[in-house]
């Protein structure tokens, strides 16, 4: 019987090239970029079912609650590993692989980026199975994509001699993003795009790492050995993890190991590294436009339009990317979509909140969104997930009115606990100790009207917090 595959998802990236939809505080892998589900959720669902063990997710300390909640939303129980800081992909893959090996010393691991789009999930799984025997035999299997054009934004793989298993070849060479003439030559010479996903035995990868990057291997191994349970998350030991050098898996292992193999994948794939990538992977209308949301286009060709809530209207334009969110609008030619990163850097330098924060702010218990504000008031929509509990808190400068519009809130004010149902309201005076919880089975939604002379988020005294934020 073939071994099961343990998926590990790398979900710690930031991804500012898809600004203003993707921002540091809530990056693209957790966002529904093209459908109802996030690419992280789509990735989880892609590696479900026979042949796959429960997944392991590794992500940063701002994102672990989202990672768990979004997995639960699609009915998947994931082990969520918290990497205390960013050290690029090699330490993250190694740590998650070590966790998989603790579970099963013979584990075969599939390392996946959580922010890619794959349009043919069955073909993807078939490709994984094609590489499984080679991986079980000790290869580190990559998945190459037959290029459709000479992209300069992707890395390339030159396949070498066939190995013992059908469909598996050695890797002659990995190459970084080439210039345009080189990319054209690669196409004619049969190179493949490097999709950045890997299949290997846990033991094999960790041994290669120990051989090639002993310092990293030691640091990662210690961070896993000393990991602590934190509300059901596995928190890697921060001091040990911080000792690891910062390197990508390509530099640390793939370009130096002689165990690299490649399977050609017959699935449509994109790393959606920038907005123009949607032009390649999404369906276009008769005028060549890729549109998401409410879009009206007159005499407009070959544009990518992403409209979150507004109506976006284009007249007489061509080859543009137009992205509209509630608090930020972006217009850039498709061929300059890579420059969005420079734009976001500039917005960060100017300390513009839109650079990093969404209007909708995600919290362990759910999210809130500021929907209006004036000189002495602010209005928020607050959504508390079932089981969510806000911290026991008080404010020095503001009173709050809560109107429940869906579900039932369990509200604590001082010593009193009482339910507040749909179409009921409650008043929280300045300075009073209070808490809200959703003990129900459906999301709790309420409108909060704050009034006072100072309404900053930092006017909060947290007395108790089940998410350890106090």
The piece of 219-227, 276-284, 348-356, 432-440 that touches a second copy (CB under 8 A) is: 348-356
Q: How far apart are CA 353 and CA 358, in angstroms?
A: 8
Do residues 133 and 318 make contact, with C-beta atoms less than 8 angstroms apart? no
Answer for which of 172, 215, 339, 464 binds a second copy (CB under 8 A) is: 339
Q: Looking only at residues 359 through 378 of this chain, which bind a second copy when binding is defined by CB under 8 A?
A: 371-372, 374-377
- Which DSSP state fits 252? I
Establish if 315 lies at the interface with a second copy (CB under 8 A): yes
Q: How far apart are CA 90 and CA 138, in angstroms?
A: 18
Q: Cα(first)–Cα(last) distance of the chain, in Å?
A: 50
Min dist CB 114 to a second copy, Å, is 26
Min dist CB 353 to a second copy, Å, is 9
Answer for which of 298, 417, 461, 463 binds a second copy (CB under 8 A) is: 298
Three-class secondary structure of residue 133 per DSSP: helix
Establish if 425 lies at the interface with a second copy (CB under 8 A): yes
Min dist CB 385 to a second copy, Å, is 16
Answer for which of 146, 396, 406, 418 binds a second copy (CB under 8 A) is: 406
The piece of 42-50, 135-143, 407-415, 445-453 that touches a second copy (CB under 8 A) is: 445-453
Which residue, 412, 411, 389, 410, is CA-closest to 466? Answer: 389
Binding mask 2-21 for a second copy (x = CB under 8 A): ------------------x-
Three-class secondary structure of residue 381 per DSSP: strand
Q: Closer to a second copy by CB, 118 or 321: give it.
A: 321
Q: How many residues does the chain have?
A: 470
Helix axes 202-212 and 89-103, enclosed angle (nearest 10):
140
Compute the chain's Rg from CA coordinates.
24
Answer for which of 330, 384, 385, 455 binds a second copy (CB under 8 A) is: 330
Within 10 angstroms of residue 30's Cβ, the number of other Cβ atoms is 23
Q: The tokens of 375 are what?
A: 């000189």
Rounded to 5°, angle at Cα 84 from 385 and 230:
50
Q: How far apart are CA 362 and CA 24, in angstroms?
A: 12
Establish if 449 lies at the interface with a second copy (CB under 8 A): yes
Answer for which of 238, 326, 386, 440 binds a second copy (CB under 8 A) is: 326
Q: How far apart are CA 108 and CA 385, in angstroms?
A: 35
Q: How far apart are CA 450 and CA 428, in angstroms?
A: 9
Count of residues engaged in binding a second copy, rule: CB under 8 A: 57
Min dist CB 337 to a second copy, Å, is 9
The piece of 42-50, 61-69, 74-82, 316-324 that touches a second copy (CB under 8 A) is: 316-324
> What is the b/e burial string over 352-365, where b = at least 16 CB atoms within 10 angstroms of the residue's CB?
eeebbebebebbbb
The piece of 54-62, 113-121, 147-155, 444-452 that touches a second copy (CB under 8 A) is: 444-452
Answer for which of 98, 340, 409, 455 binds a second copy (CB under 8 A) is: 340
Binding site for a second copy (CB under 8 A): 20, 296, 298-299, 307, 309-317, 320, 322, 324-333, 336, 339-340, 342-343, 346-347, 350, 352, 354, 371-372, 374-377, 379, 381, 399, 401, 403, 405-406, 422-423, 425, 427, 445, 447, 449, 451
């Amino acid at each position: 019987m073939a071994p099961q595959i343990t998926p590990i998802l790398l979900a710690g990236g930031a991804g500012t090239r898809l600004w203003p939809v993707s921002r540091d505080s809530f990056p693209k892998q957790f966002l529904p970029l093209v459908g109802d589900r996030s690419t992280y959720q789509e990735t989880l669902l892609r590696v479900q079912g026979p042949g796959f063990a429960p997944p392991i997710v590794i992500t940063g300390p701002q994102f672990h609650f989202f990672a768990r909640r979004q997995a639960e939303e699609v009915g998947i129980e994931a082990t969520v590993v918290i990497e205390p800081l960013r050290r690029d992909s090699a330490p993250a893959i190694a740590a998650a692989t070590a966790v998989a090996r603790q579970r099963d010393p013979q584990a075969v691991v599939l390392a996946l980026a959580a922010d890619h789009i794959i349009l043919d999930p069955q073909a993807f799984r078939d490709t994984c199975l094609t590489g499984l025997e080679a991986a079980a035999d000790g290869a580190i299997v990559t998945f190459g994509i037959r290029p459709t054009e000479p992209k300069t934004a992707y890395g390339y793989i030159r396949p070498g001699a066939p190995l013992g298993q059908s469909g598996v070849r050695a890797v002659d060479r990995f190459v970084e993003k080439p210039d345009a003439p080189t990319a054209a030559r690669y196409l004619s010479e049969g190179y493949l795009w490097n999709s950045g996903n890997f299949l290997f035995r846990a033991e094999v990868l960790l041994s290669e790492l120990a051989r090639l990057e002993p310092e990293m291997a030691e640091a990662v191994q210690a961070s896993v050995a000393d990991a602590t349970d934190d509300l059901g998350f596995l928190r890697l030991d921060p001091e040990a993890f911080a000792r690891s050098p910062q390197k990508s898996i390509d530099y640390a292992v793939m370009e130096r190991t002689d165990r690299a193999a490649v399977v050609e994948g017959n699935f449509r794939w994109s790393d959606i590294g920038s907005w123009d990538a949607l032009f390649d992977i999404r369906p276009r209308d008769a005028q060549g436009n890729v549109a998401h949301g409410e879009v009206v286009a007159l005499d407009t060709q070959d544009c990518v339009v992403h409209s979150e809530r507004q109506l976006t209207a284009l007249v007489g334009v061509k080859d543009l990317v137009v992205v509209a969110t509630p608090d930020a609008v972006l217009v850039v030619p498709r061929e300059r979509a890579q420059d969005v990163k420079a734009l976001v850097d500039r917005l960060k330098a100017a300390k513009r909140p839109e650079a990093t924060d969404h209007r909708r702010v995600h919290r362990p218990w759910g999210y809130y969104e500021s929907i209006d504000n004036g000189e002495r008031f602010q209005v928020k929509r607050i959504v508390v997930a079932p089981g969510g509990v806000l911290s026991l808190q008080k404010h020095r400068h503001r009173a709050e009115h809560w109107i429940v519009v869906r579900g039932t809130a369990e509200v604590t004010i001082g010593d009193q606990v009482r339910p507040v149902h749909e179409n009921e309201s409650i008043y929280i005076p300045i300075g009073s100790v209070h808490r809200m919880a959703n003990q129900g089975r459906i999301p709790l939604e309420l409108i909060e009207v704050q009034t006072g002379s100072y309404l900053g988020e930092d006017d909060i005294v947290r007395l108790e917090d089940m998410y350890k934020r106090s």
